[in-house]
C-alpha cells in the first residue's frame, strides 16, 4: 500500500577515477605551493617583510639562525597539523603535509631570486601572490599555516573567543616580534601584506564571478516569476510568508541570477510592479540551480 521513496544511489568512483582525482589535487597543491614560495622568496623575504602564522615565525627563526626556511616551516607545522587530525580528518592532514613538503622544495628552488627592492611593490605583489597560492591550496583541502588549526581547536574548547580573534591575537605577537627584529616600518608593511593576502584568498575561495540571490515581494508574483523565466531563462521558486504588520499571507519569488543580469531583473520587476520590494544577497557557490547567462 505504501511505498517509501528511494534515496538516490551514490555512484562509487572507480580506482582510476580516484587516482585522477587525487593526482589533480596533488597537482593543484603543488602549483599553489610554488606560487606561494615565489611570493615569499622573490618579494617578501629579501625585503624583510614577513607573513603571519607559522610562516612568519619560521621566517624570523630562519633570519636569526640561518636555518633552511622550507625545513623550518615543515617542522614547526608538524605538531599543529597533528592536533587537527581529530577535527579535520586524515585526508586534510596528509594533504597539508604534502603542501608543506612542496613548499619546502619550492623555497629552496626559488631562493635568492629577488624580483624587486621597492618595499611598496614587494608588499602589494607579495601579498597578491602568496594570497593566490594559499587560496589554491585551501580550495584543495590543505593548509600551510598550523596556527589556523590551533585557533579552530581552542575556539571550540574555550567558547568565549572566535577563531578570527585568536588568529589576530597570535599574529599580533608575531608582528611585534618582527618590529623588534626588522624595525617598525617592516612590521607595518608585513601587516599590509597580510591584509592584501587575506583579501586575495577570499577572492580565490569565493570566486570572482559572484551570483546574486534575489527575493521579490509583490502581489504580482506569478507575472514576475513567469517574466523572469521567459526573459532571463532562470528558474524561480515561490515561497509563502506572513506579513508582520498586515498579518496576511504573502508570496515571495526567489531566484538566483548572475551579477550581470541584476540590472535587467530590476527593470523587469519594476515594469510589472513599481512598488515591489526586493532583497539581493551575494552567492558564492551555486549547485543544482539553473543560472544561465543570455547569449547576445
Predicted confidence (pLDDT) at residue 23 exceeds the cutoff of 80: yes
Res 152: pLDDT: 65
Does 292 map to a domain?
Answer: no
Same domain (yes/no): 161, 197? yes
Same domain (yes/no): 221, 175? no
- Report which of residues 210 and 103 the model is more confident about: 103
Mean pLDDT of 24-32: 92
Range of weakest confidence among 73-87, 175-189, 267-281: 73-87
Does 294 map to a domain?
Answer: no
Same domain (yes/no): 49, 151? yes
Same domain (yes/no): 149, 84? yes
Residue closest to 123 by CA, chosen among 192, 48, 60, 172:
192
Does 191 map to a domain?
Answer: yes
Task: Out of 186, 206, 226, pick the residue that ends a domain.
Answer: 206
Res 31: pLDDT: 94
Q: Where are the alpha helices (DSSP H) in 111-183?
A: 119-139, 146-158, 163-182
Q: Give CA separation, 137 vs 35, 98, 148, 212, 254, in Å.
A: 10, 11, 14, 26, 34
What is the domain extent for residue 244?
211-283
Number of domain units in the chain: 2
Identify the H or E element spanning 204.
helix 184-206
Task: Out of 206, 222, 250, pick the residue that ends a domain.
Answer: 206
Q: How far apart are CA 138 and CA 259, in angstroms?
A: 25
Task: Out of 206, 224, 242, pick the residue that ends a domain.
Answer: 206
Does 4 map to a domain?
Answer: no
Q: How far apart are CA 178 and CA 180, in angstroms?
A: 6
For 150-173, write each residue's pLDDT tens digit.
Answer: 766 666 666 666 666 677 778 888
Amino acid at each position: 500500500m505504501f511505498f517509501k521513496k528511494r534515496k538516490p544511489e551514490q555512484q562509487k568512483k572507480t580506482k582510476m577515477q580516484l587516482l585522477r582525482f587525487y593526482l589533480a589535487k596533488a597537482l593543484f597543491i603543488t602549483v599553489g605551493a610554488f606560487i606561494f614560495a615565489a611570493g615569499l622568496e622573490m618579494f617578501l623575504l629579501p625585503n624583510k617583510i614577513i607573513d603571519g602564522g607559522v610562516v612568519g615565525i619560521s621566517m624570523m627563526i630562519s633570519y636569526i639562525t640561518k636555518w633552511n626556511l622550507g625545513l623550518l616551516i615543515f617542522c614547526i607545522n608538524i605538531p599543529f597539523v597533528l592536533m587537527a587530525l581529530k577535527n579535520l580528518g586524515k585526508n586534510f592532514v596528509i594533504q597539508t603535509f604534502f603542501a608543506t613538503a612542496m613548499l619546502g622544495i619550492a623555497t629552496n628552488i626559488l631562493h635568492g631570486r629577488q624580483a624587486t627592492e621597492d618595499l611598496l611593490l614587494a608588499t602589494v605583489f607579495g601579498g597578491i601572490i602568496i594570497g593566490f597560492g594559499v587560496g589554491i591550496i585551501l580550495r584543495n583541502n590543505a593548509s600551510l599555516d598550523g596556527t589556523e588549526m590551533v585557533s579552530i581547536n581552542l575556539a571550540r574548547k574555550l567558547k568565549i573567543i572566535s577563531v578570527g580573534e585568536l588568529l589576530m591575537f597570535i599574529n599580533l605577537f608575531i608582528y611585534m616580534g618582527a618590529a623588534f627584529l626588522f624595525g617598525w616600518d617592516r612590521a607595518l608593511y608585513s601587516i599590509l601584506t597580510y591584509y592584501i593576502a587575506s583579501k586575495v584568498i577570499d577572492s580565490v575561495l569565493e570566486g570572482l564571478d559572484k551570483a546574486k540571490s534575489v527575493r521579490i515581494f509583490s502581489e504580482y508574483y506569478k507575472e514576475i516569476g513567469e517574466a523572469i523565466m521567459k526573459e532571463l531563462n532562470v528558474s524561480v521558486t515561490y515561497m509563502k510568508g506572513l506579513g508582520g504588520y498586515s498579518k496576511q499571507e504573502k508570496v515571495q519569488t526567489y531566484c538566483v541570477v548572475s551579477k550581470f543580469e541584476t540590472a535587467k531583473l530590476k527593470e523587469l520587476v519594476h515594469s510589472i510592479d513599481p512598488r515591489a520590494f526586493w532583497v539581493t544577497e551575494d552567492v558564492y557557490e551555486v549547485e543544482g540551480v539553473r543560472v544561465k547567462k543570455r547569449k547576445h
